[in-house]
Amino acid sequence: MQIRGFYEFGHTLDVLDADTHGFAPFDVSCVEWFWAYGDMHDSSAGFVLKLRDGRRAYVEFLHWHGFEQDEDFRIDVEILEGTGMPAAPLREPIDPSAPWPPGGWSDETAHLDRMFAAGRDD
């Protein structure tokens, strides 16, 4: 089973809030595409989500590992038009000289979809 993006998506679902971001985890139908990157200092990921109401959203996650200091993580959300993909990060990347998205896009998302689908009765 693939685990790439699993950690980051779990945090993303925990933070998503309808009042702040325009939709909540329950509103997600599936993950269409994702990318994920992590090292000893930070993790980042992006998820293209199909929402139950037909909209598509791009959620970008960034987490700084705290070790001896406070951890910090945040998500940014953009509602996508049509079937397009995000062309650039929502925030300044940690390493602006690195290719974006780090590691490229993946459409192998079944492991991510299982994280939120198991609790629904639809």
Partners of 75 in beta bridges: 61
| Long-range contacts formed by 92-95: CB under 8 A, 24+ apart | 93/44, 94/42, 94/44, 94/62
Which pLDDT does position 64 carry in this prediction? 72
Quickly count: other Cβ atoms within 10 Å of residue 66's Cβ: 10
Which pLDDT does position 107 carry in this prediction? 93
DSSP classification of residue 117: H
**Residue 87 dihedral angles phi and psi, to the nearest 5°:** -95, -15
Distance from C-alpha of 34 to C-alpha of 9, rounded to nearest angstrom: 9
Mean pLDDT split into 10-residue runs, the chain, 122 residues: 79 91 94 87 89 96 70 85 85 74 88 72 52
pTM confidence score = 0.85
